[in-house]
Amino acid sequence: MNKKEKPNILLITTDTQRCDTLRCMGSTFAVSPHLDRLAEEGVLFDNAHTASPVCSPARSSLMTGLHTPIHGCIENGIDRKSGHMIFPDLLREQGYTNIMVGKTHFGEHSTSFDIIRDVKGEKSALSPEDSYGKFISQHGLSRSSVGLGSVPDDLHMDAFLVTTAMEEMEKCRQAGEGPFFTFCSLLSPHSPLDPPGDWATMFDDVVLPPIDYEPGDLENLSVHTRRLLGFLGQEDELADNLQRPETLTEIDKKRRLYYGMTAFIDAQVGRLLTYLDETGLRENTLILFSSDHGTQMFDHGFDDKHNYLDATWRVPFIMSMPGVLPSGKTTDFATWTDISATILAAAGTSSRYIQGFDLFTPLTQGLESPRRCATGTLYKSAAVATKRWKLEYYFEEQTGMMYDRVQDPSERCDLYNDPKYANVKEQLLVALLTWRADMIDLQLMEESQRGGGPVARRIIPYSLAMRGVDIEIRLGEKVAPLDHLLVV
């Protein structure tokens, strides 16, 4: 595959987008015609999960293809380790022009990005000198969003980022010098919830399902989760607050703005699709769409991430390249560590360091996703989800939580200490802890080889044959059969 034959690649990500914002994922009320179209013209993963349900760790895993214990960013505010390969490094070797537009939050920028039009901080940040700050100041408006009515549709930050991505892709098309990789990283629907114009009132009269909350939900969260979220010991106070009429009114308003925000984002994706169609780029462009994590939006009583509940850990994920990938196909698992391996495979290359699956090649062959379960980490914990089971383990507390995802989709019946499920728990736990213990920084190990004695010389070929994805394969082989285990 020479440079001219390689596909263009467009990766679109959002921030804090739940799965119930897409009709194609079963929502009865979402407004998502363009993402639904993308799914109709591509592959939808209905069991996609982020690598870590919090922003910077997830984005660091996306760029490196590594889980958080390896790249080091285990929570927001902690830098990832320097020196790890990121997938645009290898794309550049394949002749790609790498374009970064929007939110980064994955640590240091690599010199392998040829064009960077990023934004500094969230939508509420001042940052007058970033790409959006310079743009919006020309219109006499503040860089910092103050909520509703801040800016008209076409000047909204996410609209600006989509316009910028299209401008940079168009420059590449006009130059005709080879393929491009564009990372269009949108900031919504992360707060502040500022859908412009009519998008702010779109859901005013829509009947939304009630929040998935029952008394006791807050105190039943793990200690690890409550500590991260900052309400350990305040559960009763928060639960009482959820009963107040003014709180319920505020929650209802926030939910309606959130879904209006995701509808606006869908329209921005539509603009990208229209651009690709009208320029003829669509036929040779692989499109990937996902979100760094979801959010509870008051399901289980709180509005945040930093947890393994489905509303937060599970994310939308769509891939589309008509004529190359199947159209209208739904398959199972994917995680954010798979994205880098998948993009590299589409570009005709790979990295053995990556702890994720190439999803592109199997799908082009008419096969299902090779991933058989989801894996994730969060601060001092790890989790695995199969089609039926979810097991979370908290290392410091030396305890966990386990749910039957089929019989208990709201994840309220913790089976971790139920004797009836002891066999399932034990096998899931051994597999998860083995996976975590087997996690190795292969790049560091390769770069640190210094010869040594006879044992070192014997082990070097074995070490250099290891692949990051091997731990995912072994875990999947151990846990997938448990979906069919008879529980007596």
Is the same domain home to 67 and 200? yes
Residue pair 251/298 in contact by the 8 Å Cβ criterion? yes
For 82, other C-beta atoms within 10 Å of its C-beta total 9
Is the same domain home to 330 and 416? no
Query: What CATH number has the domain bearing residue 13?
Result: 3.40.720.10
Residue pair 202/31 in contact by the 8 Å Cβ criterion? yes
What DSSP character marks residue 288? E
Q: Which residue has the tokens 């008209």?
A: 152
Q: In the prediction, which pLDDT does 488 show?
A: 61
Residue pair 301/213 in contact by the 8 Å Cβ criterion? yes
Q: In the prediction, which pLDDT does 110 show?
A: 76
Look at residue 189 and tell me if it is in a domain. yes
Between CA 276 and CA 125 the distance in angstroms is 31
Residues of the chain with pLDDT under 50: 1-3
Is the same domain home to 339 and 410? no
- The vertex-385 CA angle with 382 and 389, nearest 5°, equals 120
String of DSSP letters for 308-341: -SHHHHB--EEEE-BTTB-SSEEEEEEEHHHHHH
Is the same domain home to 291 and 403? no
Look at residue 1 and tell me if it is in a domain. no
Q: In the prediction, which pLDDT does 2 show?
A: 45
Q: Which residue has the tokens 């320029």?
A: 279
Q: Which residue has the tokens 């929502």?
A: 27
For 398, other C-beta atoms within 10 Å of its C-beta total 7
- Distance (Å) of CA 268 to CA 140, 288, 339: 23, 15, 22
Boundary residue ending a domain (339, 372, 405): 372
Strands in 399-404's sheet, in edge-to-edge order, are: 374-377, 381-385, 389-394, 399-404
Is the same domain home to 260 and 368? yes
Is the same domain home to 328 and 395? no
Look at residue 95 and tell me if it is in a domain. yes
Is the same domain home to 311 and 338? yes
Residue pair 222/300 in contact by the 8 Å Cβ criterion? no
Boundary residue ending a domain (315, 340, 372): 372
Q: Roughly what angle, to the nearest 10 degrees, separates helices 245-279 and 33-40? A: 50
Residue pair 172/279 in contact by the 8 Å Cβ criterion? no
Q: In the prediction, which pLDDT does 127 show?
A: 83
Is the same domain home to 278 and 176? yes
Residue 5, amino acid = E
Boundary residue ending a domain (372, 402, 425): 372
Is the same domain home to 341 and 385? no
| Domain limits for position 153 | 8-372
Q: In the prediction, which pLDDT does 1 show?
A: 42
Look at residue 3 and tell me if it is in a domain. no
Between CA 378 and CA 54 the distance in angstroms is 8
Q: In the prediction, which pLDDT does 129 show?
A: 87
Look at residue 477 and tell me if it is in a domain. yes
Task: Give me the number of domains the chain comprises.
Answer: 2
Terminal Cα-to-Cα distance of the chain (whole angstroms): 54
Q: In the prediction, which pLDDT does 261 show?
A: 97
Between CA 389 and CA 312 the distance in angstroms is 16
427 sits in which H/E element: helix 422-437
For 449, other C-beta atoms within 10 Å of its C-beta total 12
Between CA 97 and CA 182 the distance in angstroms is 8
CA dihedral for 241, 245, 249, 255, sign (positive or negative): positive
DSSP count for the chain of H helices, then E strands: 16, 12
